[in-house]
Amino acid sequence: MTSIHLHLLSDSTGETLEMLAKAALAQFENADVVRHFWPMVRSRQHLDRIVPEFKANPGLVLFTLVNPETRARLEESCAQLGLPAVPILDRVTAALEKALGQEAHGRPGRQHAMDQAYFERVEAIQFTIAHDDGIGSEDWEEADILLAGVSRSSKTPTSIYLANRGYKVANIPLVVESPPPPALYRLKHPLVVGLTTAPERLVQIRRNRLLSLNEGHQTAYIDNERVKDEVAFARRMFADNGWAVIDVTRRSIEETAAAVIRLLGDRGRHKGGDFEGVKPI
């Protein structure tokens, strides 16, 4: 197994850098990566305190630094240590400068500025948390998206991920013995999406959940036939109401969320609007 040290330096929160590094690392199997995260590096003095860590743990350095002096200092230090230093946004920024015909602003953390989009995202997160697991049905019409599905079909984590993209999301568990509130069938604004999964996979997830809670296994919650009935019940409800359906069996949360966003974009275009289903990050 290959082992490396990966140093991530950013002059802001480092969120963008972390996401890009994670996406790239996903392409490699059996790689033992030790990450060293260095956010808010905005001065030579701060950088000089970090450089000894490079020497102690030599590896690959990825950075997003816009201050020329700090950047030059980093590149000089890495060259002296014989370490590769990769400015991961340079090629993208250069291409955008050429396409837009203007020079990029060298302002640290510019992509995280507290503009209107930022406050909309905070509002979306607050709404989503307050409308988890079927709560607050009287406000569902305000949601952008409503996710429906049986227990442990990844409704909550998908909702939170979408909320971080700026979407107001509500979700509701579908239970055979407990019909959903009538408000669910009257919704006009939200896109209702049904999440489904293979019964066998669902049993496994639920069993692991019970193990984590130190609860017994003699329950209908993980009975194979009962779970099949639950999934079939949910699928019939999706079909009867014409709701879009996403099978999450082999999807990550990110993949499920991306599929929901595409559905939302398709819906906007179908209605003749210019909404493309992507909100700013």
Does pLDDT of 18 surpass 90?
Answer: no
Residue 89's pLDDT band (cuts 50, 70, 90): confident
Residue 279's pLDDT band (cuts 50, 70, 90): very low
Span 132-145, average pLDDT: 96
Q: Which of 112-126, 232-246, 255-269 has the lowest mean pLDDT?
A: 112-126
Residue 199's pLDDT band (cuts 50, 70, 90): very high
List of residues 6+ apart from 185 with CB closer than 8 A: 241
Task: Report the alpha-carbon distance of residue 205 to residue 61 in Å, rounded.
Answer: 38
Domains of the chain, earliest start first: 2-111 (3.40.50), 116-270 (3.40.50)
Q: Would you call 31 helix, strand, or coil by DSSP?
A: strand
Task: Report the alpha-carbon distance of residue 99 to residue 102 in Å, rounded.
Answer: 8
Numbered residues of the known binding site:
149-156
Supply the pLDDT for residue 108.
53
Q: Report how far apart, in Å, the C-alpha atoms of 125 and of each of 138, 190, 208 are.
A: 18, 16, 28
Query: What pLDDT digit, counting tens, does each position of 37-54 carry?
Result: 998 888 889 999 999 999
One-character DSSP codes across 55-79: HHS--EEEEE---HHHHHHHHHHHH
Question: Which of 267, 224, 270 lies closest to 243 in space, CA to CA?
Answer: 267
Numbered residues of the known binding site for ADP:
149-156
Task: Report the alpha-carbon distance of residue 89 to residue 65 in Å, rounded.
Answer: 9
